[in-house]
A and B are shown apart, each in its own frame.
Chain A
């Protein structure tokens, strides 16, 4: 290695990923570019690199998850990190242990990162204050799910190239959806035009302040280049928001009949077939759902890599590695 490369500057992305607001457009692009490198790794026979060897990643899931928990686990393992997976059911949380005590107990393993999913808004931010580890928000109640938005942006960028000017509609239970909130922030930051659509009871008031438009009718859905469908988040509903699921499906279900050719279809999963999406739509060529799932692992590898590769400032001062005299490449 000799003369300084002319590639982009490598300032750290920041210690935590709690919200998409932690990333500007350049940082999002950087994570997506890194995810492309990991897509190449995923194509090899040995799908592993030693970048996080010897580091520990703790996955702490207080809510049900298939996709997110398994993809974070696989992402950390493919970076050669040691992984500890805790699901609250069956752990000492059943014995009444609080979130703070759980986090402080796990911090004694000196993890490099804690990935947290919890039903309470703001949980990730709280956890970040209780541990020296990097904290990654895997979903905090209905607030945000930043890695989902990143993998959605990655999937779309791969399909469409730049996202500037792309019209994207988010249809469904926006009120209770952390995926919607993170996606509105991320995709508008990448230049897309986002419109949210659903029954009036499920569109939050003043959602437009996040930078999107809103409508309660699917009439103009053909304006969308991409339709992003959300599931009814029953587990977060404590009131009646729709008269019945059948009526919801009648008015707002996305089926092939409602889509025009050329429109792309996305869904964060899991899908409730026959409710928000018809079977013919799910199984059609317009659906990017499978690509979204595949994107999950490589994007989470990119997030872990960008957050953890590089010296961690140690608050205690113990074991501080000598970074003086090393300049960024």
Chain B
């Protein structure tokens, strides 16, 4: 870890936070009163780290509910609003949304919420697949500086930040460890999330 990075969430914090978010998701979306076809929640993670977090949340939420919870992942590259101004075509990963969205509450999962443009792209992508009953948003970190009217229902941690800073999320599956840090932004500014 570079010296000027400050740790906001360590390994245990990340775990506890995800457990709390899972409980909040279940609490917020109770099973239908008629006891009918069971739970309506589905989780969709945004590549790359949102998809990893969605997989973890899926395991936690599934433990709390009796019915299977669909899990999908989404690559939003084709829906970005900055396709024409990036220096090169964005790297594209896979998308898997293999379940019907109708009559479901889709919870979008991402690691960091910043300007909100990524979530806007994700909503557009999801609506090209179907018409969910409602869409909610779960993020590990909300760092403020919204440029669109997007708000999350489930937040791991609110992290005030300045635009010269960068929030770095590391996850075991990709980076070898679970850790969220904040530090000065190095290099040229990236297209914002």
> A-side interface residues toward B, CB under 8 Å?
1-3, 5-8, 10-12, 33-34, 37, 40-41, 44-46, 48-52, 54-55, 305-306, 309-311, 321-323, 325-329
Q: Which residues of B contact A329 (CB under 8 A)?
A: 86, 90-91, 190-191
Q: Which residues of B contact A45 (CB under 8 A)?
A: 129-130
B window 139-193: CB within 8 A of A: 166-170, 174-175, 187-193
Tell me whether B87 and A2 are in contact (CB under 8 A).
Answer: no
Q: A46-B128, A310-B89, A325-B188 are in contact. Are A3 and B168 (CB under 8 A)?
A: yes
Residue-by-residue, is B65-76 near A (CB-CB < 8 Å gives 1, otherwise 0)? Answer: 000000000010
Tell me whether A1 and B128 are in contact (CB under 8 A).
Answer: no
Q: Which residues of B contact A49 (CB under 8 A)?
A: 78-79, 128
Tell me whether A310 and B124 are in contact (CB under 8 A).
Answer: no
Q: Which residues of A contact B83 (CB under 8 A)?
A: 51-52, 309-310
B85 is an interface residue with CB less than 8 A from chain A: yes
Q: Which residues of A contact B187 (CB under 8 A)?
A: 327
Tell me whether A12 and B89 are in contact (CB under 8 A).
Answer: yes
How far, in angstroms, from A2 to B192 measured CA to CA in the complex? 9
Question: Interface segment, B13-21, B26-34, B92-100?
Answer: B92-100
Identity of the chain B residue whose Cβ is nearest the Cβ of A47 in the assembled complex = B128
Tell me whether A327 and B87 are in contact (CB under 8 A).
Answer: yes
Tell me whether B75 and A326 are in contact (CB under 8 A).
Answer: no
Identity of the chain A residue whose Cβ is nearest the Cβ of B117 in the assembled complex = A1
B49 is an interface residue with CB less than 8 A from chain A: yes
B189 partner, pick from A7, A37, A51, A326, beta carbons under 8 A? A326
A309 partner, pick from B86, B128, B190, beta carbons under 8 A? B86
Tell me whether A37 and B94 are in contact (CB under 8 A).
Answer: yes
How far, in angstroms, from A309 to B187 measured CA to CA in the complex? 23
Identity of the chain A residue whose Cβ is nearest the Cβ of B190 in the assembled complex = A327
CB distance from B166 to the nearest CB of A (A): 7
Q: Which residues of B contact A305 (CB under 8 A)?
A: 78, 89
How far, in angstroms, from A329 to B83 measured CA to CA in the complex? 12
How far, in angstroms, from A322 to B189 measured CA to CA in the complex? 13
Tell me whether B118 and A326 are in contact (CB under 8 A).
Answer: no
Tell me whether B188 and A311 are in contact (CB under 8 A).
Answer: no
Identity of the chain A residue whose Cβ is nearest the Cβ of B111 in the assembled complex = A2
CB distance from B138 to the nearest CB of A (A): 16
Tell me whether B75 and A306 are in contact (CB under 8 A).
Answer: no
A40 partner, pick from B84, B94, B175, beta carbons under 8 A? B94
Tell me whether B86 and A5 are in contact (CB under 8 A).
Answer: no
How far, in angstroms, from A311 to B187 measured CA to CA in the complex? 20
How many of B's residues come within 8 Å of A, CB to CB?
42
How far, in angstroms, from A46 to B95 measured CA to CA in the complex? 14
> What are 18 residue pairs bridging A and B, where the CB atoms are less than 8 Å apart in the complex?
A1-B192, A1-B193, A2-B49, A2-B112, A2-B169, A10-B91, A40-B94, A45-B129, A45-B130, A305-B78, A309-B83, A310-B83, A310-B88, A326-B188, A326-B189, A326-B191, A327-B87, A327-B187
How far, in angstroms, from A321 to B168 measured CA to CA in the complex? 28
Tell me whether A7 and B89 are in contact (CB under 8 A).
Answer: no
Tell me whether A2 and B167 are in contact (CB under 8 A).
Answer: yes
Identity of the chain A residue whose Cβ is nearest the Cβ of B118 in the assembled complex = A1
How far, in angstroms, from A55 to B124 measured CA to CA in the complex? 19
Tell me whether B78 and A51 are in contact (CB under 8 A).
Answer: yes
| Interchain residue pairs A-B with the least CB separation, the first 3 | A49-B78, A1-B193, A309-B89
CB distance from A80 to the nearest CB of B (A): 9
Identity of the chain B residue whose Cβ is nearest the Cβ of A307 in the assembled complex = B89
Name which of B85, B87, B192 has the most chain A CB atoms within 10 A of its CB.
B87
Tell me whether A328 and B88 are in contact (CB under 8 A).
Answer: yes
Identity of the chain B residue whose Cβ is nearest the Cβ of A327 in the assembled complex = B188
- Starting from the known contacts A1-B112, A2-B169, A41-B78, 17 additional A-B residue pairs (CB-CB under 8 Å) come to A1-B111, A1-B190, A2-B168, A2-B193, A3-B168, A10-B91, A37-B92, A44-B128, A45-B129, A49-B128, A309-B86, A309-B90, A310-B83, A311-B85, A322-B85, A326-B86, A329-B190
B23 is an interface residue with CB less than 8 A from chain A: no
A328 partner, pick from B79, B87, B129, beta carbons under 8 A? B87
Identity of the chain B residue whose Cβ is nearest the Cβ of A305 in the assembled complex = B89
B48 is an interface residue with CB less than 8 A from chain A: yes
CB distance from A18 to the nearest CB of B (A): 19
How far, in angstroms, from A50 to B78 measured CA to CA in the complex? 6
Q: Which residues of A contact B84 (CB under 8 A)?
A: 54-55, 309-311, 321
How far, in angstroms, from A5 to B77 measured CA to CA in the complex? 13
CB distance from A46 to the nearest CB of B (A): 4
